[in-house]
Structure 1
């Protein structure tokens, strides 16, 4: 008796489809707090907003600061009310970063510069390709 190939193929295809699409259902209802992708120049990547309405099977209108943006489900992330607009976890800090770098006296700086200018023999590697044979252009001599 031969194995049933069609059922085996269908089961494998169904399993692959389930793994590819994932089990996460991304559906939003009107009024949900979300972060949406912001494509404007000189702005953060994500903006806080609320779902206004659904415009298609995978697209929604999002109210961001009084402006309605149409976004795909891939460009929307569910968030809580008090969460900042950084869904990926990359938070930028407004506190300046300071480093403790010891100051070097100017006399020592000139010494290190002169040490750096010491002649280093340059090593030229052999050509990997043969040199190009250049011919003069054949011009029309009238």
Structure 2
């Protein structure tokens, strides 16, 4: 009679005490509720277990957490988060099959390295035999979270939530792809308390901060790079290279890469960029050529004529007479008062 309405443990005890009493009434009623199938099926969730967090890896990309976000406008996003540095990767995908997922995952592994552990949920992409073969053949331990318990893959889940909210706020600022790139640059460059030493994901993943538009607030001149003298000497010695330098208005022959044209076309140097690049005027067009694609040339007869016209030089100058007038030498003048240097004879 008491459990007919299934009022719950405490209400059943209160109802029973208002009518009857016997020794160990509480124990008997608790046992009655615990053995009631209907009460057990409709019971509340138990008290949460103590938090057991993931251990922090010792190096970047040793353990990664992966998940899918979306789809949004027909696009799903493969989310990968490095457990050490919190460095995120977000890849837009139109197909979420195991083959497509593994193709993007292989690309990431080629960029960075093969992880030791991959943590995912129980999506069909991650439970397929193809995905298991990939992990087994590459020595990767695959850890799957329990069904309907996203907290076990919390690192990916938290980032997915942050990613969705940020993209939603920026959707009116332009294409989603541009918003994604902006979000990733800012997120990777922002200090993170969950990252070692509270540094940004970029600092802990690649060892430096990423340059962004905020760096324009503090402009700095990059130090001049030093040339590799040893490499230059080895190259010059091996190829017998010699220094080349052209000045503006120098006449050159420029390498012509147009199909069906001569290998070299006449041109004139306009300006120099750096040490080896030149702008060359060729047939009314400006070509950019390396010093190795140029060679000096002599002026053609037409160019020489134009040059003479520019400086107003006569084409047929008056020949210079080679005759000369010989003037006889003057007789030496004798000074009667000059001292004689004849030696005396004894």
TM range (shorter): 0.3 to 0.5
Larger C-alpha radius of gyration, 1 or 2? 2
Larger relative helix fraction: 2
**TM-score, length basis structure 2:** 0.19
Tell which has more relative contact order, 1 or 2 (C-alpha 8 A, sep 6+).
1
